Amino acid sequence: MMSSICGSFAQPGRRTLWATILVVCLLTAPGINWWSASEAGASPQLSVIYVPTPERLVHRMLEMAEVREDDYVIDLGSGDGRIVVAAVRDFNARAAHGIDLDPQRVAEGRENARRAGVEDRATFEEGDLFEMDFSEATVLTMYLLQTLNLRLRPVILETMRPGTRVVSHAFNMGDWEPDQHEVVDGRNAYLWIVPAQVQGRWQLSTADGREVTLSLTQSYQNISGHAVVEGASMDLNDVNLRGDEIRFVIGSDNYVGRVEGDTMVPVQTSGAAQGWNARRN
């Protein structure tokens, strides 16, 4: 949920016309710096008006992320803590952590976690999210501005583990297309699965001793490529990348693999080739 630039303006649970007007005015006003740069030596500034995510959408966002008991959820701009609390209370996440720049909201989140009886697993921290390390999260949620999402995009892609689920209320990630998009009561929710980095040239060894050269190109989770088998080049078919799982077809052979850095190993799947491995050159 959005944090607050003036906490007394928008009361928790209320979204007023005046708040909307103020957002529009501030967004269009020249010279506004929504998140002050720490390298400039200034203290972090509150960036967005606090507008809570509706409870129905909170629930659906966590469903989209398929939150389960082994997940560690981090909410950026956690506001009153409703996503953090719901993750552990309703989805039994191992732990959830909220980061917000507004001390009033941090205190509110802690109090709501205490009232829900989940303060041992639902924690909150005051701070600038651009100075925080949230790479250990398995699920990342946010309700920020478009400009902040775009600043976060390279951080997410470069530091978070492949397979991490990222869910945003209202704002997308530019040309990084979502893996899932839903509308709940007129509000947008977007899901991305952080993709493994697979671009490059790979040498694949099959179970029967054949050597196959793969050349893969990648734009976020969208990949394409071709294979050279015994001197003959052919396009890869049915290519798909979801987190660290990659799928492709060479000729009549179906491959399903797990990307582990510069190696691929087969996944035990019915109808898929086994006994192969691949290494990036």
pLDDT at position 49 is 74
Q: What beta strand segments (E) does the chain contain?
A: 72-76, 95-100, 122-126, 139-142, 165-169, 180-184, 187-193, 200-205, 211-219, 222-229, 232-235, 237-242, 245-250, 253-260, 263-266, 277-280
The reported pLDDT for the residue numbered 1 is 62
Q: Are residues 24 and 123 in the same domain?
A: yes
| Residue 142 pLDDT class (50, 70, 90 cuts) | very high
* Per-residue pLDDT tens digits for 269-281: 999 999 999 999 9
pLDDT-derived band at 25, boundaries 50, 70, 90: very low
Residue 266 domain-assigned?
Answer: yes
3-state class (DSSP) for residue 190:
strand
Q: Model's pTM, two decimal places?
A: 0.85
Over residues 110-139, mean pLDDT:
97
For the cut 60, the answer to whether the pLDDT of residue 36 exceeds it is: no
CA distance 236 to 118: 49
Euclidean distance between CA atoms 110 and 98, whole angstroms: 9
Residue 34: predicted pLDDT: 37
CA–CA separation, 207 and 240 (whole Å): 22
pLDDT for the residue 45: 59
End-to-end CA distance of the chain: 43
Domain count, the chain: 2
Structural domain harbouring 21: 17-193
Query: The domain spanning residue 216 has which CATH number?
Result: 2.40.128
pLDDT at residue 6 in the model: 33
Asked which of 159, 174, 193 is the last residue of a domain, the reply is: 193
Contact 264, 278 (CB under 8 A): yes
Kindly report the CATH number assigned to the domain that includes residue 135. 3.40.50.150
Residue 7 tokens, joined:
């906490």
**The last residue of a domain, from among 163, 193, 223:** 193
Quick: pLDDT tens for 58-98. Answer: 999 999 999 999 999 999 999 999 999 999 999 999 999 99
Give the end of a domain, one of 169, 193, 217.
193
Residues 6+ apart with CB under 8 A from 91: 62, 67, 68, 71
Q: Say how far apart CA 237 and CA 251 lie, in whole Å.
A: 8
Q: What percent of the chain has pLDDT over 90?
A: 82
Cβ(59)–Cβ(29) under 8 Å?
Answer: no
